[in-house]
Structures are given as C-alpha cells and as structure tokens.
Amino acid sequence: MNQTTTFSVEYHRFLRPDGEPEGDLPPLADDAETLHALYKNMVFTRLYDERAIALQRTGQIGTFASSLGQEAIGAGVGHAMQPEDIIIPSFRENGALLFRRFRVRDLLLYWGGDERGMANPDLGDDFPICVPISTHTTQAAGVAFAIKYRQQPRVVVCLLGDGGTSKGDFYEAINLAGAWNLPLVFVINNNQWAISVPRSLQTKSETLAQKAIAAGIPGIQIDGNDPIAVRHHVAEAIEKARGGGGPTVIEAISYRLCHHTTADDATRYRSDEELEAHRKLDPVPRLKRFMEARQLWSDEQESVLIRDCKAEIEQEVQHYLDSAPPKPESMFDWLYAELPQELHQQRQSLLVRESSND
Amino acid sequence: MNQTTTFSVEYHRFLRPDGEPEGDLPPLADDAETLHALYKNMVFTRLYDERAIALQRTGQIGTFASSLGQEAIGAGVGHAMQPEDIIIPSFRENGALLFRRFRVRDLLLYWGGDERGMANPDLGDDFPICVPISTHTTQAAGVAFAIKYRQQPRVVVCLLGDGGTSKGDFYEAINLAGAWNLPLVFVINNNQWAISVPRSLQTKSETLAQKAIAAGIPGIQIDGNDPIAVRHHVAEAIEKARGGGGPTVIEAISYRLCHHTTADDATRYRSDEELEAHRKLDPVPRLKRFMEARQLWSDEQESVLIRDCKAEIEQEVQHYLDSAPPKPESMFDWLYAELPQELHQQRQSLLVRESSND
Amino acid sequence: MTDITLVEAVNLALMHEMEHDPEMVVLGQDIGVNGGVFRATVGLLEKFGNERVLDTPLAENMIAGTAVGMAVQGLHPVAEIQFMGFIYPAIDQMVSHASRMRNRTRGRLSCPMVLRAPYGGGIHAPEHHSESTEAMFAHIPGIRVVIPSSPTRAYGLLLAAIRDPDPVVFLEPKRVYRLMKQAVEDNGEALPLDTCFVLRPGSDITLVSWGAMLHETQQAAEQLAGEGIDAEVIDLATIKPIDMQTILESVGRTGRCVIVQEAARTCSVSAEIAARLAEEGLMSLFAPIRRVTGFDTVMPMFRLEGHYMPGTERIVQAVRQTMEFA
Amino acid sequence: MTDITLVEAVNLALMHEMEHDPEMVVLGQDIGVNGGVFRATVGLLEKFGNERVLDTPLAENMIAGTAVGMAVQGLHPVAEIQFMGFIYPAIDQMVSHASRMRNRTRGRLSCPMVLRAPYGGGIHAPEHHSESTEAMFAHIPGIRVVIPSSPTRAYGLLLAAIRDPDPVVFLEPKRVYRLMKQAVEDNGEALPLDTCFVLRPGSDITLVSWGAMLHETQQAAEQLAGEGIDAEVIDLATIKPIDMQTILESVGRTGRCVIVQEAARTCSVSAEIAARLAEEGLMSLFAPIRRVTGFDTVMPMFRLEGHYMPGTERIVQAVRQTMEFA
Ligand SMILES: Cc1ncc(C[n+]2csc(CCOP(=O)(O)OP(=O)(O)O)c2C)c(N)n1
Ligand SMILES: Cc1ncc(C[n+]2csc(CCOP(=O)(O)OP(=O)(O)O)c2C)c(N)n1
Ligand SMILES: [Mg+2]
Ligand SMILES: [Mg+2]
C-alpha cells in the first residue's frame, strides 16, 4: 500500500526590484498613508543605522548591528502590528523596534552598554533585544500562551534570522506553537548570511519557510525587500492568528547589505559582485519608485523627510550622550525584587570602593 | 508574483495486519532465510522482554523498557544493517541490539544498574543505550561525519521515538545530516505514546516523516508493524546512504502494547479499547501468518524456535545472575584514561571504607 | 489533617496555589492525565483543566523557555522537569534569560517562574535519573535554588517559591518523596526563603546539609548523641542565596563544622559554605572544616550508588575526626 | 621565532596539530573562510580544506553533540563555541555524554574532544559576550577544564588538551587575546595538564588566579613588592582537576592566601580552593583566606563591567588586609 501526503510553500511578491507592480496589488498599495509610514520608517531606520555606526566608530557606543538593505522587513512588521501586540525581537530589527515604542535613545543606550536602554516603561510588554540566537523563540510561545490563556485579542510577533532557524530552539518553538495553536507569527529575516556562514551551509532545505511543515503549520516565503509584500502578508498572518487561526512562519528573503556588525569585515568572506547584485534589490528605492510612479511622493517630500528624520535622530543622539552614567550599584538593585541578605555585603563593598575612588 | 514549491511524504506497507500481501512484494519476501531471521529476532525479543519484566518484578534488575508490539522495527533495522555499520540506539531497541552483538547478559547488566553492560568489546563501534531523549541524534551526525571523512563504506543508523522528534536535538541533527550529506539513517519508532503523552500532543504535524522536509532531506512513513516493509525500506535507505546518497528519516508507525517501562502504569492514561484495537496489528503473528500461507513456517518450527530461544535466554539470564558484583572503585577507574592526582585520595577513601565494612 | 509524604506535600502546595492564584499554570511532561511520573501533579488536571495543566511536547529547553515567556507576561508558571538528569537543556534559559529579565529591563519585566525537578540518588533508578547538580544552578546570579527535606518544608517552601517574584529552581529529593510522613496543614502559609532551619540544636559541632542527606545527617546526630557528642543540625533549605548568618552563628558556638551533601565535591555548595567559613569564621574554628560529599565521579549506575552516596557512617566518622582534632 | 599574541598562539597550536594529526578536525561557527570572529582559526581552511575545517550551522548543542560523535569514533575534534555566553546549550552533551562515554562503556569508547571558547569580560562587548562560568564545567566529573593566561601557555596547554584522551573544555581569556606578546616556539611541545604554574615565587602570601585575572594579580604582586610584601603568584591553569599540591605547598610556606577570579563568587572555583585549604591547610593559615571575585550579579553590560571585574586595587587591598591580620 502506498499513500502520498503533499505539502507546499508559496512565494509572494507584489513589487519588482524596479518598483513596478506585478500581478494584483493589495488594497494597502493604494493607501498613501500606509505607504508613507512604511517609507518613513525605512528612511529613518537607515539614517539611524548610519548615525549609530558613526557613533561606534568614534567610541560612543559599542558593537552595533545595522539593518541596511533589510528595512522593508522592520517597516512591514512594525506597521502590521497593533499597539497591543507584542514584539519579541532578535537584535537586527531596528526598524520594527522604532515603529513600536523604542526610541533611538533607548537603542543607543543598549548598544552603548547600558541596561537602561530596555527599561523604558512605554515599551509595555515588548521584549528586550535578544542576543543569544533563537532563545527568544520559545519565550514567544510562552507569551503567546499567556495571551491566549487570558483570551486577549493580541498577537505575538517573533523575529529571527536565517541562521536562527538552525537552532533547536526555533524548531521547538514552532512545534509548540502548532501543537497549542498559539497566536504567534514568526518572521525570518533571511538576509542570506549568518555572520560569514551563507544560507547554503545552514541547511539543505530549499526554503526556510518549509521548516514550518515540520511543525504542521503554514510557512510562506515573501520578497523581504518588497515592503508591500511584507506589510500585507505579515498583517494577514497576524490577523489570522488574532482570529484564532494559529501560528504562521514567514520567510522574508532579503540581503544583508552591511557588515554583520561593526565588529565584522564582510569583505573577508563575500564577493563584491554578490553585494553589488543585491544592491539592485534595495527596498528603499523600490518603494520610492513605486510611490513616485503613482504621484504619491515628490522630491520635496523626500528632502523634508530626510531633514526631519535627521533632526529627530540628532535630538535623540543628544539625549543619549547627555544621559547620566548608570550607577554602579544598579547591578545589584535590579537583580532581585528584593536584594537577598548575602548580597548587601557585596553591594556595600562596591559602594565603599567607589567612594574611595572618588 | 507567486510561486509554489511542493513536498511530499510517502507511506509504504507490504503486509496487511492479517499477513496478506498487498501490491508487489520486494524480493526479500521470497527469501525464507531472511524471513526466518526476522521472525526469530522478533520472537526472541518478545521472550527476552517477558523474562526481563519477570526479573524486574522479582527485584533482579531495575526499571526495564519492553518493546512489545514494536518488534518488527528492531528486527527490520537489525537485519538491514551490515556488521560494519553503527547503531546509535535510544533505549527501546531491544530487538535491534540483539540482532547486533549485544547479548541478553549485556542488556540485563545494563538494566541491572551495571556499566559493564555496555562494555562488551565485541560491540565494536556500536553506541551504548542512550537515556536522555534525542541527545544521541547529534552524536550520530558526528559519527557519520567520521565515517565519511575516512571514506569508509559504512552507515550510521540512529533510532528514536515519536516523543524524541519534539526535541531540538533531533532537528539540529537532521539539519546537519542534510547540510553535510551524511551517511545516516534515522528510524523513528512512532509507537504513538511518549510515556503518557500521545502523539497528537507532541506536534501538529500530520506525519513525523515530514519533519525531514525541514532539513531538506527525504522522509518516509512505513508500517512499522510490517517486518517486510521495515526491512526493505530501511535497507534501501542504508544502501542509498552507503552510496553517498545522503540521509533519510523513516517514520515507522507502530504501537506500544506494553507499559512505558516497568515503572509505568499505562492504564492511567489510555483506554483498553485503544490497546485492544492495536493488538490486532501485532507484527509477530502478521509475519507468521505470511510465512505459513507460503508454507515457509510450521508449528514444529515454531515450537523448536520458542524452545531454543527460551533456552538461550535462560542461559544468558544465568550468566547475568552469576556475574560478580562490580568493584566499587570501578567508578573511578574508567572516569579518565588516567586518574588525576586529586582523585587518588577519594578513591583511596572509598577503598578504606569498603575494607572497614568487611 | 492527615500525615502526608513529601511528594503529597508538593501536590498539596500546587493544589492550594492553583486554587488561589488564577495566574498560576503548571506545565511539563506527563503532568496531566498521568499526574506526573512521581504523582506530584496528580488531580490537577481534573480540577483545573487542560487550560492550566499543560502536558508539553518532549523538550526541556522549550519547557523552560515557554515558562520564561509565560512569567514575563505575568503568569506564574510552575514547570516540571521530569528528572534533574534532563534539566541541562533548560540551563540556557535560566542563565541567559530567567535570571536576567528584571535586571536587563531595570524592572520593567520580571520572571516569576518556578522550575521544579526531582533530584538525587538512592532509588535504584536507571542511568541519568539520580543527578545532584544543584551547584550549577547555585552559581547563577539572579535566581534562587530551594531544596525541601521534609513534607512540611516542601509545602511551605514551594508556596514561597511560587509566590516569589523571581525565578526559583525547586529541587525535590526524590528519595524522600515517600520516605516519611508528617502532618501538614493546608493553611496556605509559606515558609521563608533565604533562610536555614535548625532541625536539632547542639553545642559540640555544626552539621549542615540539605535534601535527602539530612536524613543520614540526623541519624548520624542521633548516633553521636549516644557517644556524648551534641551535634547541631542545620537544613540549608535555600541553597542560593545562602543564609550564612545562621551557619556562622552556629559555628561560632560549636567551633566545628561538617558539611554533608550528595553532590560531587568540586565547586559544589559545600565548597561555598566551607569557603565562607574560612573567610568569615576562621577564628572560631577549633578544627578543620570537613565535607562529606559524593565523589568527583559520574554518579554510578545503581549497583554502585550506595558506595557513592555518603551514608550515616561516613558522617559519623567525619564528625569523630573533627571532634578528635586537638 | 617571533613574538605572538595569545590568540596567535592558539592558532599556532591548532595549525601544528592539524599538520601532525590527520584525525584532528575543527568545527564551529565562522571558523572557516572567516577564520573565527577572533581569528583563532585563520588560515586553517586554506591549509587543510573544508573536509577538516568545518563551518557548522548555528547550533551549539549540535556542535557539542557532533564533536562527541566524532570523538567517540576516534577523531580528535576541536569545536569552537563563539563566546562562552552561548555555551549553555552545549552543557547537556558535556555532562550527559562527553564526560561519561569512557565510564559508561568501561573504556570501550572514549571521547577525546576539545570544546574551545573565548571567555571573560573587559573588551566592551555586547550583552552575553563577557561570561565567566567555568565553575559550571568544573563541577562536571569526567572532564577537564583548562584556561591559559599567556601565549606560551596557550600554545602548550592547547596541544595538551587536543592530545588528551578525555574531553577538555578549553577557555581562552579573550581580554588577553591581544594584550601581550611572547616568543613561542612552534616545537609541538605540550605543557602538562593538571598542574599549576608558579609565575612568581614569593614568601609572604600566595596569590592564586587564572585566565585574564592573572594580569591584575601579577600587577598587584609588583605593586606589593614595592611595599615590601613578597607575593607568590600561581596560575591555576587547569581548573579541573585542581593541583592542590602546589597550592598547599605554597600556602604551607606563606601561611596566607588570596584567590582572585573574575567569575561570580558563589560555588565558584575560588570556593573550591578555599574549601580545600580550609580542610587540608587550615593549620598553616595565619589569616583567613580571602577571595577577590566578581560579584554574585549578572555580568553587567559594558558601561559597568569595570565596576564588576576585580582590578589591581581590590587585589592589593585584600592582600594588605590579609597581611595585616594578626
Ligand atoms: C546562540 C548564539 N550563538 C552564536 C552567536 C553569535 N552570533 C551573533 S549573530 C550570529 C549570526 C546570526 O545569523 P542570523 O540568524 O542569520 O541573523 P543575522 O545576524 O543575519 O541578522 C552569530 C553566530 C549568538 N549571538 N548566539
Ligand atoms: C531529555 C529527556 N527528557 C525526559 C526523559 C524521560 N522520558 C523517558 S522516555 C520518555 C518518553 C519517550 O517517548 P518516545 O520518544 O516516544 O519513546 P518511547 O518511550 O515511546 O519509545 C520520557 C519523557 C528522558 N529520558 N530524557
Ligand atoms: Mg542572517
Ligand atoms: Mg513513543
């Protein structure tokens, strides 16, 4: 006896790299406000990244991860989420975080080596940046369970990279999301590199989206440099989850136009040709051309936007630079709700040392 | 732009539960020697399991895991492997281990709480029983790499349960096996329960075989109670791997007719009806009926086989019961190749204590 | 109020808190219909339903990570790891996240979770079922590690652990699960964390232990009493943070100390206590501190576990040697 | 023979052994074309090809498990974990398998693997990149934990680790990677494992340290020499097993001991050394043992890491206090 079960993964794109539409566009493509919001977030993120790299070069923050070339993912995800939804990010989701309630000063504090960067009370339930790859994915399942348990109409969005899909954590998380039918959307930024390791060495699977099949949940591929595709398909998955339809894995195909971080030199391991080829797929000019062709964007709007973004970023940078240094004893003060007895002595010894250093 | 990639998982069976063939049979179905070997192993394993449970009930070994109802998997896997291949078992592969060079006395020593059970030098490169679920799967990848690195025509077979497929280890292992094209076959004994947790709570995926899709490698489902299907498809996957064709995941669908272990009471969590329904799928009478229908097996052969198996098992049990107790200091003597200085004192203190207890 | 065992006390505390705290959920392997392989969660599913009593897929890393997510979101998850031998995949979540959420968000988020696991040897269990690696957790800043040694303390300490606003690793000495019974009143009263319990006052020597080893330690104290040695017995109970005050005060009176643990010796909890005594209590010591511990070997399979685990005799011996020291 | 840094010495040892041992392979993240994020494996791919220099998928548990499998099969894998902060998923394989293969098969199988990882703070790295949790590994029976503190010791100890027939966790103090240079001869000579190195003989007090903290410790010793205090400085080097002979002998002479580590205090390696001194060397102590350690806090992000890590001043202070003790 033979029987065959089949599965499939779909790939979606609305805008060609040159900004020309292909096939039917979703309603949001006609909504200037949405397009402007997406575009603004991408431009702002790119300018922020640039500025942050400059701050790193001058020793004003530490190692920094840019999202150059991948801004459509952050913008699309950020815009697709409702304020009450919860984002559980990795560390390269600058645009998505900025779309939510993270401020540039928060992010600079974090990359400047200061825990206060993730402390802003306005962040609500949004998770802090997660550095250990994919460890946040199972947490996302726990958060999604809590939401479901409380019957709240909220959705969790968890972001990770292509490299992150190789870790057992990711698989365990999507498996639980499926088994428990959780309101949870995973968005993979497949920027095709995990530091120096290309996508082809991570896995033999033809797509990353098909990893969802292992969990019995839907997985789709989208052009991650098409902001309209990202916004549309992420929103669709979020609303499906909100309606009780369960989890989705979305592989957004993009490309890391930058070094891995400021501590990395990508020329060691990838060719200029490859990089140049991918510059042509840049999401920012793609959306701009689309808007321009529809008379939804002008040179003047562009220059106003850039001027405004820069001004806001500078203000935020100044805020960051003006921030008082963290108190040494703060490493004790947030460790537990109440400091255990045995740590009073250690805390005290730190204070004594500090004051004797004055 | 929309594109669709499709994947599939096939299910295979040759013998119906009543032992009648369906569809074309593979050549091995005509080979009396092979059929006898499979049958003998299944009968031996079942008798061994029974005896081991009796030993546990009388306090002569500790907790024991029977493979009742799942004997076709061990037999098929054991017979499909070449002597130079390497088995990396979990803890329920009694039949497969007995097909290789593990003796009943080895297994009883192990379940009797004695490390010497896994020490038999005849075991060659075969791995010891692995208790922590799925932790052996990545090790299997390492062993398969070593074989490939040395260009040896050997194959690694790694066995695990349905519950084991939920662990990240399994996914990380199949992913590496795919990425590195390793000579490695994973056989999942889907006995539909992980202690009290049914298959349906482990994962939403329709099959366990489809988890292979996440790694970009082939996954198939077989009737794990059809010894001919197991032997045929496992051998096919092994020989494919031996020829450089890479890894395969095989989900063998069976049913745990026994308690999880002697420490478990399955009546707490599953119904008699379910159990009874699955008794009808028992692999042992299935193969017997098939052989009988073809005049390849007689009542006399049956009684000789049972007598011989019992005699051999009794001899082995006696060997086990006669084994000298392990030396207390042996816990030090195999810890490192050479005992570090600081442990001499601890070892000495144990010896002194032992001798003062005399 | 009937006499109950330690595992029944665990069950009673879980029942009590589930009833009073709607934010509490339990999760783990086989904890639902089966009631846990040791029956610690028996009856919970029937009473609270599968919305709050969650049989998980088989993945300890996921169990811990999911509990972290639940806790950060304000639930009070109590996750069971079936045996301590399978807890290692959960360490990453404990050290990298559970212990840090409050600190890294300066209090914006926190992680009030409990990770329960039966631990320790002595029940002739299979390989990997007899671990005592509490020290690996005790080294992690930002968490608590709590070990009850009797039914009453199991009840009170588990309630405290669940109510604690920070992550707690709660290790249950499985050899004691059914070793003895005590009258436990289901009054919902938690015992304090971060504090030792003096089980037997004494003036000649201080014996510090926790978990299953307290029973050998108490037996040793009885036996020593017959020899005219009056030992004080302290149950450490909370392994991290350590209540050194109580221990220092005791050793300050007795001048002698033996620490008893089942775990391997090197970098263990007994090492920490001995080190602190050597730092802070050196001048009150009349004799070197002795540690009676498991060996620095792999926990042997069960035919030899009796040789691995410290027994009454080794404790008595160590105390005698300490007392004889002039 | 040119002067090289510690990370270059690691590279030299890897190069040397790859050339002489065809069973040796290296695996890890970014160790191939990229040569490792710290360049420890630079040049290996070019020289030995991608059959022996293996960029793995991103999964530390898998890296460790694969290395276990390779080693059991007789290869000599040297696996890199990119930062110690990401080593936790690998603990399960180390404690449950690498450390047990020989014992559980009574020598039929063994596990000659090395798990390398840069560790420690002080380079202003992001969150999770500054860990020092060597104690969690030092608690595991059946493995070795080795930490070099200079280029020469990195070269000799890494060779020894690779040639050792048992599993070794090899932790490289990343702050020292490029801190200093030494002349290292590529003679393939291993240094002994399981032994301390006396870096500076002295008669007044014994300072024990390892890894990056040795540098502060040596600076402190220099400073103290100016004050007329003659400190002996011992590099522990092999953290597990501990060579207590050398330490006891030293403390037997000096009567005083300060232990310096970067790691959090509780249940750490310094606790073990202090405990053993309190057990075996109590009578030679003129003053309480002091430990200068990281706090029992989460390693803070880098703006505060300087406040967390013990500096020369804290060591000097502790030594003075120990010397003043009457
Ligand atoms: C568990 C873990 N291992 C290693 C690292 C070091 N590391 C940081 S980013 C990175 C690559 C991540 O690749 P990917 O998931 O594709 O995300 P990307 O950086 O491309 O956005 C690595 C290996 C880490 N942070 N966590
Ligand atoms: C990592 C780990 N977690 C938990 C256990 C306890 N345990 C032993 S067997 C088992 C169920 C295994 O189910 P499955 O993989 O389906 O194998 P089966 O027992 O059905 O053959 C569990 C949870 C374990 N051995 N290892
Ligand atoms: Mg990537
Ligand atoms: Mg099963």
Residues D196-209 have pLDDT tens digits of 999 999 999 999 99
**Tokens standing for residue A348:** 């005290």
Residue B358 shares a structural domain with residue B218? no
**B189 and B86 within one domain:** yes
Check residue A323 and give its pLDDT. Answer: 97
Together in a domain, A172 and A270: yes
Ligand 1 atom 19, closest CA: A194
Q: How far apart are the CA of B150 and the centre of ligand 4, in A? A: 34
| pLDDT value of residue C70 | 99
Torsion angles phi and psi, residue C53, rounded to 5: -120, 105
DSSP letter string over C53-101? EEEPPS-HHHHHHHHHHHHHTT-EEEEE-S-GGG-GGGHHHIIIIITTH
Residue B191 CA: which ligand 2 atom is closest? 20
pLDDT (mean) for D322-326: 90
Given CB atoms, is C75 within the 8 Å cutoff of chain A? yes
Percent of chain C at pLDDT > 90 equals 98
B330 touches chain A (CB under 8 A): no
Here the tokens at position C244 are 């050194």
CB within 8 A of D308, min separation 6: which ones? A331, D121, D294, D295, D297, D299, D300
Pair (A302, A332) in one structural domain: no
C-alpha to C-alpha distance for A182 and B199, rounded to whole angstroms: 18
Hey, which residues 110-169 in chain C have their CB within 8 Å of chain A?
110, 141-142, 164-166
Q: Which residues of B, range 190-249, sit inside 8 Å of A by Cβ?
A: 201-207, 210-211, 213-217, 223
Q: What is the DSSP string of D94-125?
A: IIIIITTHHHHTTTSS----EEEEEE-S-S--
Indicate whether residue C56 lines ligand 2 (CB < 6 A): no
Q: Which residues contact A299 (CB under 8 A, 6 or more apart)?
A: none
Residues 6+ away with beta carbon under 8 Å from B188: B159, B160, B161, B162, B164, B165, B208, B209, B249, B250, B251, B252
Secondary structure of residue A286 in the 3-state scheme = helix
Residue type for position B166: S
Residue range A308-322, pLDDT digits in tens: 999 999 999 999 999
Write the pLDDT tens digit of every residue in A105-137. 999 999 999 999 999 999 999 999 999 999 999
Residue of chain A with shortest Cα separation from B173: A168
Average pLDDT over residues D296-300: 98
Active-site residue list of D: 129
Tell the residue number behind the tokens 């078992």, with chain if given: B89
Q: Is B3 within the bounds of a domain?
A: no
Token pair for B58: 């009388």
Nearest residue (by CA) to ligand 1, atom 6, is: D82
Q: Which tokens sit at B47?
A: 């008798």
Among residues A155, A187, A176, D90, the alpha carbon closest in space to that of C62 is found at: A176
Domain match, A334 and A209 both: no
Cβ contact, residue pair D95, C104, below 8 Å: no
Q: Write down the CATH number for the domain with range D197-325.
A: 3.40.50.920
Check CB contact under 8 Å for B217 and A210: no
Same fold, C3-183 and C197-325: yes
Helix A104-111 × helix A299-322 angle, to 10°: 50
Identify the pLDDT of residue C16. Answer: 98
Please state the rounded mean pLDDT for residues C15-31.
98
pLDDT tens digits along A228-286? 999 999 999 999 999 999 999 999 999 999 999 999 999 999 999 999 999 999 999 99
- Burial environment of residue D60 by CB neighbours within 10 A (0 to 12, 13 to 18, 19 or more): buried
Residue for token pair 């023979």: D1
In the predicted model, what is the mean pLDDT of residues B270-290? 97
Q: What gap in Å lies between CA C269 and CA C245, rounded to an integer?
A: 16
Partner A contacted by C59 (CB < 8 A) = yes
Q: Answer yes or no: do B92 and B222 share one domain.
A: yes
Nearest to B269 among C34, C58, C59 (CB): C34
Q: What is the mean pLDDT of residues B286-310?
A: 98
D90: closest CA of chain C, how far (Å): 8
- The distance of A120 to chain D (nearest Cα, Å) reads 17
CA distances to A154, D34, D272 from D6, rounded to whole Å, are 51, 19, 27
* Same-domain status, B144 and B126: yes
- Parallel, antiparallel, or unpaired for β D168-173 and D144-146? parallel
d(CA A161, CA A74): 12
Same structural domain, A97 and A44: yes
Looking at chain B, the whole-number percentage of residues with pLDDT higher than 90 is 97
The answer to whether the Cβ–Cβ distance between C57 and B203 falls below 8 Å is: yes
Please count the other Cβ atoms lying within 10 Å of the Cβ belonging to residue B152.
Answer: 13
Interface of A with C (CB under 8 A): 86, 115-116, 118-121, 123, 125, 127-128, 132, 135, 137-147, 149, 168-169, 172-173, 175-176, 179, 330-331, 334-337, 340-343
Contact call for D89 and C85, based on CB within 8 A? no
| Structural domain spans, chain C | 3-183, 197-325
Whether D135 and C267 lie within 8 Å, measured CB to CB: yes
Strands D238-240 and D144-146: antiparallel
Q: Which stretches within B67-134 are classed as H helix?
A: 71-80, 94-99, 104-111
Please say if A110 is a catalytic residue: no
- As a whole number, mean pLDDT of residues B147-151 equals 98
Same domain, B339 and B200: no
- State the pLDDT at residue C288: 95
Is B91 a pocket residue for ligand 2 (Cβ < 6 Å)?
A: no
- For the cut 70, the answer to whether the pLDDT of residue B222 exceeds it is yes
Q: State how far residue C207 is from chain D, nearest Cα, in angstroms.
A: 15
CA–centroid distance, A162 to ligand 3, in Å, is 5
Number of neighbouring beta carbons within 10 Å of residue A32 = 12
Bridge partners, residue D260, by sequence: D209, D292
Query: Quick one: closest CA in B to A12, which residue?
Result: B2
Residues B222 and B334 in one domain: no
Do A7 and B12 count as a contact with CB atoms less than 8 A apart?
no
Number of domains in chain B: 2
The two three-digit tokens of residue B77, written as one number: 């896997």
- Average per-residue pLDDT for chain A: 97
- Tokens representing C68 are 């972290």
Q: Can you give the CATH number for the domain in which A57 is found?
A: 3.40.50.970
Question: Mean pLDDT, to the nearest integer, of D67-71?
Answer: 99
Contacts D71 to B, Cβ<8 Å: 142
Residue B237 is assigned to a structural domain of this protein:
yes
pLDDT per residue as tens digits for the range A132-143: 999 999 999 999
B64 lines ligand 2 (CB under 6 A): no
| Closest CA–CA distance from residue B24 to any residue of chain A (Å) | 9
Per the domain annotation, does A2 fall within a domain? no
Q: What is the structure's pLDDT at D1?
A: 72
**pLDDT value, residue B357:** 57
Instruction: Identify the DSSP state of B337.
Output: S
pLDDT value of residue B355 = 76
Nearest to B45 by CA among B96, B103, B95: B95
Q: Which residues of C are catalytic?
A: 129
Q: Distance from CA of residue A343 to its chain's centroid?
A: 37
Q: Is residue A354 part of a domain?
A: yes
Q: Give me the mean pLDDT over the B72-97 stretch.
A: 98
User: Phi/psi at D301 (nearest 5 deg)?
Assistant: -65, 170
Cβ–Cβ under 8 Å, residues B132 and C128? yes
The Cα of B166 is separated from the nearest Cα of chain C by a number of Å equal to 5
Q: What is the pLDDT of residue A357?
A: 57
Gap between the Cα atoms of C220 and C160, Å rounded? 30
pLDDT of residue B188: 98
Closest among D321, D6, D2 to D154, alpha carbons compared = D6
Which of C70, C96, C245 comes nearest A145 by C-beta? C70
- How far is residue A200 from each of residues A151, B7, D32, D64, measured CA to CA in Å? 41, 19, 14, 21
Q: How many Cβ pairs within 8 Å bridge chains B and C? A: 106
Is B101 designated active site? no
- Residue B145: domain span: 11-326
pLDDT of residue A355 exceeding 90, the answer is no
Alpha-carbon distance A195 to D80, whole Å?
A: 15
Average per-residue pLDDT for chain B: 97
Q: Which residues of B92-116 are buried (b: 16+ CB within 10 A; e: fewer)?
A: bbbbbbbbbebbbbbbbbbbbbbbb
Residue D103 touches partner B, C-beta closer than 8 Å = yes
Task: Report the distance separating Cα D58 and Cα D68, nearest Å.
Answer: 17
CA distance from start to end of chain B? 83
The answer on B173 and B61 residing in a single domain is yes
| D313's tokens | 């001043």
Long-range contacts of A204-208 (CB under 8 A, 24+ apart): A204/B175, A204/B178, A204/B179, A204/B181, A204/B215, A204/B216, A204/B217, A205/B175, A205/B178, A205/B213, A205/B214, A205/B215, A205/B216, A206/B5, A206/B216, A207/A9, A207/A11, A207/A251, A207/B5, A208/A162, A208/A165, A208/A249, A208/A251
What confidence score (pLDDT) does residue C1 get?
Answer: 72
Q: How far apart are CA C123 and CA C23, in angstroms?
A: 35
Please check whether residue A265 lies inside any domain of the structure.
Answer: yes
Ligand 2 pocket, C86 CB below 6 A? yes
**Any ligand 2 atom below 6 A from CB of B93:** no
Q: Does D226 touch chain A (CB under 8 A)?
A: no
Would you state the pLDDT for residue D160? 98
pLDDT at A358 over 70: no
**Cβ separation A346–D297 shorter than 8 A:** yes
Could you tell me whether strands D231-235 and D197-200 are parallel, antiparallel, or unpaired per DSSP bridges?
A: antiparallel
What are the counts of helices (DSSP H) followed by strands (DSSP E) for chain A?
13, 8
Residue C282 has a pLDDT of 87
**Residue B52: inside a domain, yes or no?**
yes
Q: Is the ipTM of this complex over 0.90?
A: yes
Distance CA B40, CA B296 (A): 13
- Contact assessment for residue B178 and residue B247, using Cβ atoms and an 8 Å cutoff: yes
Atom of ligand 1 nearest to the CA of A202: 16
C-alpha radius of gyration, chain C, whole number: 19
Touching subunits of B (3+ CB pairs, under 8 Å) are A, C, D
Chain D, 74 to 103: residues with Cβ < 8 Å from chain C are: 85, 88-89, 91-92, 95-96, 99-100, 103
State the average pLDDT for chain D. 97
**CB of C295 sitting under 6 A from ligand 2:** no
Pocket flag, ligand 1, residue A128 (CB < 6 Å): no
Chain C positions touching D301 (Cβ under 8 A) are: 104
- Write the residue in D97, D104, D165 that is nearest to B115 by C-beta: D104
pLDDT above 90: residue C154? yes
| Per-residue pLDDT at D2 | 85
A289, part of any domain: yes
The domain D3-183 is placed in CATH, from the list 3.40.50.970, 3.90.1150.10, 1.10.620.20, 3.40.50.620, at: 3.40.50.970
* B121 and B240 both lie in a single domain: yes
Cβ-contact D3, D182 below 8 angstroms: yes
pLDDT tens, residue by residue, A273-306: 999 999 999 999 999 999 999 999 999 999 999 9
Task: Look up residue D85 and give its amino acid.
Answer: G
- Residues ≥6 apart with Cβ < 8 Å to A107: A48, A52, A94, A97, A98, A117
D34 closest CB neighbour out of A63, A133, A195: A195
